[in-house]
Amino acid sequence: MIIVLRQGTPKPEIDQLCETISKMGSVTINPVIGTDLTILGLIGDTSHLDPTQIESFHCVERIMHVAEPYKKANRSFHPDDTVVDVGGVKVGGNKLTMIAGPCSVEGKGQICGIAERVKESGAAILRGGAFKPRTSPYAFQGLKYEGLELLKEARAHTGLPIVSELMSPYDIDRFIEDVDCIQVGARNMQNFDLLRQLGKIDKPILLKRGLSATIEEWLMSAEYIMAGGNEKVILCERGIRTYETYTRNTVDIGAVPIIKRLSHLPILVDPSHGTGKRWMVSPMTKAAVAVGADGIMIEVHNDPQHALCDGQQSITPDTFDEIMKEIRVIAQAVGREV
């Protein structure tokens, strides 16, 4: 349930209304005071609340019932766009955030060199995999804790905040200490025990869409994190599994405006995993910027042909630089800054 208050309602009246609602039953009240609108978002069993008594308060403009199962991630509960701070970099709002780096950290020279190049081109955050979920148990699984240390060296070298994927809840404390943003990969999108644990920490979470997840399932996964108290969630569309086999996945570009309509959370697009083909990264990046994505996450490798992971979808630093120059025109056209 959402209670829309009259513009300019003083705080004492809001407090009095909240106290009355609390006495009616067990619900969580989330006041959202926006520029043009003030609302009270009620989460829990609202069936026993008396709308007539609530509407009797002079400050109440109207009451709205929310059908969607996700509440905290719902734009109705939070009309203004959420901006998440990742190590000093704002994700969301007017600024287009570019995240770039290799699929997997392979060595100090590799990660530091790539970090330096992508920063020069305009990337604001460095991505790099230390723990790699692979379909085959025989494939390269990442450098693990050594990879995290190398990412920290790259951050110290360039000043770029880092994002890396967490695989196990046992490593949460290490990730809290080492990275600026914790990535939850597609395979863990519905690992609800992990999501609950991430809801208890104070660290930005980049939540990738699951392999075959609907948009509602994706938002419900975000809800798991936010219900625990951590509302620093960034969504990432990385392609879903469809009947098409030409590309690795099918990038759901339409998910961007849908999320913008349903939720206040910032949304990124990952054209590298979304297509699995390096030559498609540039056009899909442009499309994502054009439809309103808050940022792009791209795999960049200094030697894609010899990459230990996902070389076929990684672009070179030179290509990344070209893409950055091209999307500035598109970003300006849709009112965004790069």
- For each successive 10 residues of the chain (338 residues), what is the average pLDDT? 89 90 85 81 83 90 88 91 97 95 94 97 96 72 89 97 94 96 96 96 97 97 96 98 95 98 98 97 98 97 91 96 96 92
* 42 vs 46: CA distance, rounded Å: 7
pLDDT at 225: 97
* Range 137-145, long-range pairs (CB < 8 A, 24+ positions): 139/309, 140/104, 140/308, 140/309, 142/104, 142/105, 142/309, 143/104, 143/105, 143/106, 145/174
For the chain, the first-to-last Cα distance in angstroms comes to: 38
* Chain centre to alpha carbon of residue 26: 30
* Chain centre to alpha carbon of residue 5: 30
* Chain centre to alpha carbon of residue 64: 27
pLDDT at 138: 64
* 334 vs 150: CA distance, rounded Å: 37
Ordered domains of the chain (ranges, CATH): 2-64 (3.30.70.1140), 84-333 (3.20.20.70)
29: left (phi over 0), alpha (psi -120 to 50) or beta: beta
pLDDT at 137: 74
pTM above threshold 0.85: yes
* 167 vs 189: CA distance, rounded Å: 11
pLDDT at 134: 66
* SS3 of residue 178 by DSSP: helix
* SS3 of residue 2 by DSSP: strand
pLDDT at 146: 93
* 262 vs 132: CA distance, rounded Å: 31
